[in-house]
Each structure stands twice: as structure tokens, then as C-alpha cells.
Structure 1
Amino acid sequence: MKIFYPLIFSIFLFCYEISGQYYPSQEWERKSASSLNMSQPLLDSAINIASQNENAVNRDLRIAIIEAFSREPYFEILGETKERGGPAGLIIKDGYIVGEWGDIKHVDMTFSVAKSYLSTVAGLALDKKLIHNIDDKVYEYVWDGTFDGSHNKKITWDHLLTQSSDWSGQQFGLYDWADRSPREGEIDDWRARKLYEPGTHYKYNDVRVNVLAYSLLQVWRKPLPQVLKEKIMDPIGASTTWRWLGYHNSYVNVDGIKVQSVSGGGHFGGGIFINTLDHARFGLLFLRNGKWVEKQLISKDWVKSVQKSSKAKSDYGYLWWNNSQGSWEGVSKEVYYAAGFGGNYIIIDEANDLVIVSRWIDNSKIDDVVRLVQNSIK
């Protein structure tokens, strides 16, 4: 029986290294900078900046959220929060771990990075033809009143995914106009403002992103965390420690079953709680254009779509940011990334075969980190 072991081992290796591309199994292989033709001093400088420049948000994230958003009308924390860890991160080159810092197994809130996971669930729905076209009106799929009215009826899936819908209403006790509203003296005028034509005006708004999550729940008709787990996280070998949560009052009836509609961020608590290693696997899936080993988990077309700028905002696509306008000075304009409150990032650089995950970094330093890592490649 022993004579078959070398053959079995060689087949195992083949399964995780296809056409020269490495995919991590349960244990993620590490390589030195020199073995991947990178400058160790420049890589060390990037890691030093990321690890030594911690974001200023309070480590008790309940306090951090209150400090950031409590001025909003009727503000309330409706979902789970937890104390965060310190700066942590990974640098993945050619699929291998080439640099790391902090506790990469610590599960943390990730705030608006969750939006890019939500975008992925939308892409899966398109791949599966649950949504026929990105430009379809959402009311054609969600008929319970969420998209009633002459304005809301115009809203398409594209508008929700690019945060350009200007959806108007209330969901789970949260009003769209209260999210990141103007200062108190302007609130009444803001509430009564003329709504923008869907697709023409970008406005970062967690209530509307949660409307997207709710709409996708109506399309999938099962919990979105279950969809993400079955279609993405299990196939890429993510741990069992990540969670995707909504609010204590966001449970809805789906085919007679009580299901929680999840949050697309941590603005009101909830969202995705996840460790750095699982973020990196998710990032590597996008770096590989939606393919993991020999299986296409999400279409290459969708991966390309999320990188494109929307009409309403030149550096924002389907709940992913991009550097097309060069806001990160000295960093490739083809880079795109997920970003969240408190300095949470998943950065994809296809040209250099790079994924960078950084947690709790001072936001003013992230471009320095990316630039140094890119410059470290000889």
C-alpha cells in the first residue's frame, strides 16, 4: 500500500497548483521575498508601516460606532458588535504568503468590506439567472412595497449596487435620509429634498445597501450567509469562524421560515465578522478571476464588472472601490479594493499577482503600504 503514497501526494499537489497558479489547501504555504523576486527591505518597510500605524477608532467598537454616527437622527445600534484586535494583515504574492503581521486568525468586525461580499452574492444570483439582467427594475422581483412609488419603481439592481439609487423609505426602523445626514440645522430641508434620478447621483448609504441585501434575500429565498458559505467560502477553504449578521429586528418571513436579513456593514452593528486569513482567500478568488483550482465559483464577467467605475462615481463600481482616478498616489490605477470603517482593506492587484489584506490601519497610510509592496517586486 505504501508504494501508492508518492502518487497520491503528487496528485494532491497538482490539484492545488494548476497552470503555475498556486491555491492554498488547509495550510497556506509561505515563501520568502527573495524566492518570489521581491525586495525584502521594501516589503519589511510596508509591513512596519501597516503594523505601527494603528487606526484611531476605539477598540471597543460599540463606542467607536457611537462616536462616529450617534449624531444621526434616531441613531441606534441594532446589531452585534465586539471589541477589535490590533493591526493585522497579509501580503499574498503569486498565491503564497510572503508577509504577515498581527493576529491573522482573530475574528473581527469588518464594516463596509461586507459590501463587497454582498456584491458577490448579487453576482451569483446573476450567474444562476435568479436575476436576469443587472438593469432590471428591482420591483419586478420584490413586490412587497419596498419599491412602491414613482421614484423607487425606477430603481434597478445596477443602481443599488453602485449606491446611486437614492431609494427613499424606511427599513427595520432606519430611514434612508437619516444615514449620514447633514448637520441638524439642515435636516428638515434634507428630508424634503427633491430625489435624484436613479443612477445619476452617488451617495454612500448603509440603509440602501441593506435594502439590496433584503432584496437579494427575496430572490435567493434562503439566508445570504448560507448562500455565501455554500457557493464561496467552503469551496475556497475558509474557516468555520466567520459570521454574517443582521439586526435584532431584521428577521423576516421567507416561505414560512424566520430568516435574518443581513447587514451590508457595521454602521448599526452586525455585518461580517471574519479573520484576516479568510479575507485573503476571498481576495485570492477575485485575483484568480472567480476560479478556485479547477472550478469557476463566480463568473469571470462578474469579477471584471465589479472593477469598472460607475456612471455616478468614477472610482466606485459594484460595491468595490478602484484606484482609476489615482487617489492612491504612485499605486497602479488598475488596483481595486474592498474598504471598511476603521481601516479594513482587501486589495487586489492582478498585474502584480498580489492580494493585500490590512486590518485597523490608519487610512492615510494604506497607499504607502501598497506602493511599497508594488515597488518591492523586481
Structure 2
Amino acid sequence: MRTAMCLAFVMAAAAGSAQAAGATPPAGPAEPAWPSPDWPAAAPAEVGLDAALLHQARDYALEGDGSGIILRHGRAVLRWGDPRALYDLKSSTKGIGVTALGLAMADGKVRSLDQPARTFHPTFGVPPEGNAATGWPERITLLHLATQTAGFAKPGGYTELLFQPGTKWSYSDGGPNWLAECLTLAYKKDVADLLFERVFEPIGIRRSDLVWRRNSYRPHEIDGLPRREFGSGISANVEAMSRIGYLYLRGGRWRDRQLLPREFVEMVRVVPEFVRGLPVLAPEQYGQASNHYGLLWWNNADGTLPDVPRDAYWTWGLYDSLTVVMPSLDLVIARAGKSLKRAAGGEHYGVLRPFLGAICRAATATAAAGPPCPPSPVIKQMAWAPPETIVRAARGSDNWPLTWGDDDALYGAYGDGRGFDPPVPQKLSMGLVRITGGPADFRGE
């Protein structure tokens, strides 16, 4: 059929131009790879990445020493430093700790993120006693705590409320620490044990890979249970960080087990509507954070980093510990060590540009040189039909994007025409069609 042959021609032409240019086409496996027990390795070119640009990113990261790993399609394409060295992740703990919120949603411990924190924690928000006088603690929800809009001051201890919940964005350790207490009380269980049993151990993280310290800012126990922090407190190696990132990349699924709700993972990586555009306290430190912050994970939803996909999101702590997830590029990046080099007076995200930008360009540079997608494992070659056999059953209609459905039919759209014979009465700016049959007896409807 004419439309199918046109599609085949486009695919063949793209492949031919790549071969003529001597490019290595990006290759992606049909199924994601998994560690067993270590990550399988691949050369950058094997997964469509430019090695020189990856090395540029690594060299920038090594200005702060430390360790790192870059995964594509579940394959380790670059490592540096000691993969088993433990690093104090500081605020990257926030993005790891909030994983317990996903479990609580799956288990029905949390019915809605709009539930007030007081539902779980009778003394929530107090001390200090001055917070009670505002009337605000009763109005703070779990969503406020997870989006840095609850209003607690920065330190991780018992801090004052700075504003009415949901009216501003302010980076805080205290707010996430209250969230950790709410989840501890909801489960009546140490959240560290909860996460090891339900998430960390199933994805291959041992207690020697990730250590959660005792609370440094509040009493060590709450209702006889360890009182963990979400604001900081986890030390881990980049191996553990990469596994957490890969779990999120795969939508909360690990092999054949759905460990986290996919809906929760989607919530983590986007900016809630009510947060977008809120005034930011200390914008000289945090920039336009309310436009690129999800549920205790940073993101690039507003395109602040122009070389980085807008669907990218990451945990980020002091000393620039990073677990980065890029769904559209099928990438996970983990890095920890000392602080990266900052320009004096630079913007908040500026320190990330040389690192993440080079990695993303490593993917797009190779993609630009080769065909737009990996070679098909099904369509091995093509052959032209004799011109006299070509049938035009939709004259005057153009622009034929096509896709195959699981019902063995082709689905397409045509522009500025009246479609297949018999044509529709009026010319359409865009029409939709289902095509069945074979080259000799196809029909559109």
C-alpha cells in the first residue's frame, strides 16, 4: 500500500543517511536491563551516548572528588571513584525518605495528600508553643509538608511557622522531619525498617550500602519508635543511589514487582498546580524554586536548564549529592562527594549546568548524527513494489502519520482532504482513518 511504502521509505532513508555519515545509531534494548547482582556494563556508543561528553561531565564532577555512575537502559556506561564508599547525602535524604509516603498511599495508611498532618500526629507543629497560637498547624496537610509550602523555618528541629500554609515556598528541613514523624506514627514502625523491608532490600540495597543515623535535631524516639529525619540523615553509596533512581525511572516497578504506586512516582516528579508560581523565600539562594519542585524532589519542569529534558527530576543535597532521573533519555545518574565548583553570585541551578548539560548533550549529539530510533528488530529490509501496482485510494489527502494497533490494523491521520473512497462529503483539515486488509485489498474507514 502506498502509505506503508512511504513509511518504509522514510525509515530506509534515515538509516541510509546515518550509514553514509559513519554514525553509530543509538541502540536501546527492547527490555530494560537489571542488576544481577551488579549493573551490566555497556560502552557509551552501544547505547547511543557520546563518550567524550560523558567524560567531560565526569571530569567536572571530579572537581569535587567523590564517586559516580551513569546508567542508560539499565546499563552502566561510566563509573568513577569508589562505588561502595559511603557519603553523607544531606538533603538528598528528602527524596529517599519521601518514598515511605508512596508506600503509605499504597497501603491505605494515607488516603489523600490533602489530609491534615494532625490526623496522624496529635501534637503536630508544636513546639514551639507560638505555632499553636497562629492556628496554622491544624491547616497544614501532608502535601504542604512534601512540597515545602507548610511554612516551617529552615532548621531541622522545632521551628516557628513563617507564613500561612500554601501561600509561599520556603526550603525547610523541619517540615520534612514532621512528615517523617507522621508516617512513623501512621505505621507504628521505624520508617528506616519499613523502607528496608519494602523497598531497599528488594532492589538490592544492603544496610552496609545505606545508613540512617539517629535524629540529630529532636529526641531520638517518638512513641517508643526511632524518630527518623527526612530533612537529612542518610549516608549511602552511589550504587544504592543508582538503584533508587532506577526504581523511580521504571515507575516504581522492579523487575516484575510494583514496589511503589506509579501514580505516586508521577506525583513526585511534577510541580503541583497550587505550588507553581508561589513567592519563594530567599530567592537569592533558591531561585524560582516553586516552578521546579515536586514532592521533595527537584525538577526541570520550567526548563531552567535548557540542555536538560523537562521531565528530568533529582534528589539534591549539600555537597551536591545527586540522584537524577531522566525518563525521556532513559538515564539515571548518581553522584556524591564534595561540593561542585560554583561561580560567585551564580544562579541556584547554575552549578548543575556543566554536569547535567554535558550528559544530555552526550545523548542528543549521537541521536542527531544517527537515525531517530534504533533499527527495528522486525523490519529487516525493504523492497520496492512495481510502480503499476501502487494504488491511490485517498487522492488529494496528504500528511499520513501511521501507527500499527494491536488489532492488526493501521491507524492514521490525513490532512486537507476527503479521505478514502468513498470520500466524506466535505474536505477536512484533519481526518482520522482505520486501515485494514493487505496491499491488494486494503480499505480505509
TM-score, with structure 2 as normaliser? 0.65
Correspondence 1:257-296 to 2 at 5 A: 258-266=224-232, 271-296=233-258
Whether 1:374 and 2:391 are equivalent positions in the alignment is no
Return the letter of the residue paired with 2:259. Answer: L
Aligned partner of residue 175 in structure 1, secondary structure? coil
Instruction: Give the Cα–Cα distance (whole angstroms) in 2 for the partners of residues 247 and 327 of structure 1.
Output: 34
Please point out which of 176, 183, 186 is paired with 2:159: 176
**Cα distance 1:368–1:94, how it changes in 2: closer, same or farther (>3 A)?**
same
More displaced, 97-106 or 353-362? 353-362
Decide whether the 8 Å contact of 1:123 with 1:298 is kept in 2: yes
1:239-275 Cα deviation digits (max 9, x unpaired): 3311112326522253xxx322111234xxxx10111
Residue identity in the other structure for 2:158:
Y
1:331 aligns to what SS in structure 2?
A: coil
Amino acid at match of 1:157: L
Call closer, same or farther: CA 1:145–1:210 in 2, change over 3 Å: closer
What is the number of residues matched between the two proteins?
Answer: 305
Q: How does 1:259-338 map to 2 (within 5 A)?
A: 259-266=225-232, 271-310=233-272, 311=275, 312=278, 313-338=290-315
Partner residue of 2:340? 362
Alignment of 1:337-352 (within 5 A): 337-352=314-329
Q: Is the 8 A contact 1:104 1:276 kept in 2?
A: yes
Q: 1:153 & 1:204 partners in 2: Cα distance?
A: 20
Alpha-carbon displacement from aligned partner over 1:84-108 (angstroms, at most 9, x marks no partner): xx42111001101000111111011
Distance 1:245 1:225 in 2: 10
1:27 and 2:27 correspond = no
Instruction: Return closer, same or farther for 1:214/1:363 CA change in 2, 3 Å cut-off.
Output: farther
SS of the residue corresponding to residue 250 of structure 1 reads coil
Deviation at 1:205, TM superposition (A): 1.3
CA distance in 1, matches of 2:359, 2:155: 44
Matched, 1:211 2:178: yes
Deviations 1:296-355 (A, max 9, x none): 000110000011113141111110001122232422222111000011111110000001
Q: Between the two proteins, what is the percent identity of the paired residues?
A: 25
Residue 170 of structure 1 deviates from its aligned partner by 10
Task: Quote how far apart the aligned CAs of 1:195 are.
Answer: 4.5
How far did residue 376 of structure 1 move?
A: 1.4
- Find the structure with the greater CA-based Rg: 2
Normalising by structure 1, we get a TM-score of 0.76
Q: Which letter maps to 1:259?
A: L
Partner residue of 2:119? Answer: 140
Greater Cα offset, 209-218 or 293-302: 209-218
SS in structure 1 of the partner of residue 110 of structure 2 = coil
Distance in 2 (CA, whole Å) between partners of 1:103 and 1:170 is 31
SS of the residue corresponding to residue 127 of structure 1 reads helix
Aligned mates of 2:333, 2:222 — CA distance in 1:
39
Larger RCO: Structure 1 or Structure 2 (Cα < 8 Å, ≥ 6 residues apart)? 1
- 1:103 aligns to 2:89 (yes or no): no
Counterpart amino acid of residue 109 in structure 1: D
Q: List structure 1 runs of 4+ shifted beyond 6 angstroms.
A: 168-171
1:163 alignment partner, one of 132, 148, 153: 148
Amino acid at match of 1:201: K
Q: Amino acid of the residue matched to residue 252 of structure 1?
A: E
Do the aligned residues in 2 keep the contact of 1:152 with 1:167 (CA within 8 Å)?
Answer: no
RMSD: 2.3
Q: Could you say if the C-alpha distance between residues 25 and 144 of structure 1 is closer, same or farther in structure 2, counting changes exceeding 3 Å?
A: same
> For the Cα contact (< 8 Å) 1:159–1:199, is it kept in 2?
yes
**2:33 & 2:179 partners in 1: Cα distance?**
34
Counterpart code for 1:126: M
1:145–1:366: structure 2 CA closer, same or farther, 3 Å change rule? closer
Query: Cα distance 1:19–1:47, how it changes in 2: closer, same or farther (>3 A)?
Result: same
What are the Cα deviations for residues 1-56 of structure 1, in whole angstroms up to 9, with x where unaligned? xxxxxxxxxxxxxxxxx9611111212211111211221212222212211x21xx
Q: Quick one: which amino acid aligns to residue 51 of structure 2?
A: Q
CA contact (8 A) 2:72 2:331 kept: yes
The answer (yes or no) to whether the contact 1:25–1:237 under 8 Å persists in 2 is no
Which residue does 2:211 correspond to in 1? 243
Deviation at 1:169, TM superposition (A): 12
Equivalent AA in structure 1 for residue 201 of structure 2: D
- Per the alignment, do residues 213 and 145 of structure 1 end up closer, same or farther by CA in structure 2, a change over 3 Å counting? closer
Query: Could you tell me which amino acid in structure 1 is paired with residue 231 of structure 2?
Result: G
Structure 1 unaligned runs (5+)? 1-17, 55-85, 178-193
Return the alpha-carbon distance in structure 1 between the equivalents of residues 169 and 333 of structure 2: 27
CA distance in 2, matches of 1:45, 1:167: 39
1:198 maps to 165
Aligned to 2:136: 151
Seen in structure 2, the aligned counterparts of structure 1 residues 169 and 20 have a Cα distance that, compared at 3 Å, is closer
Aligned AA for 2:340? Answer: D
The change in CA–CA distance for 1:339 and 1:168 in structure 2 (over 3 A counts) is: closer
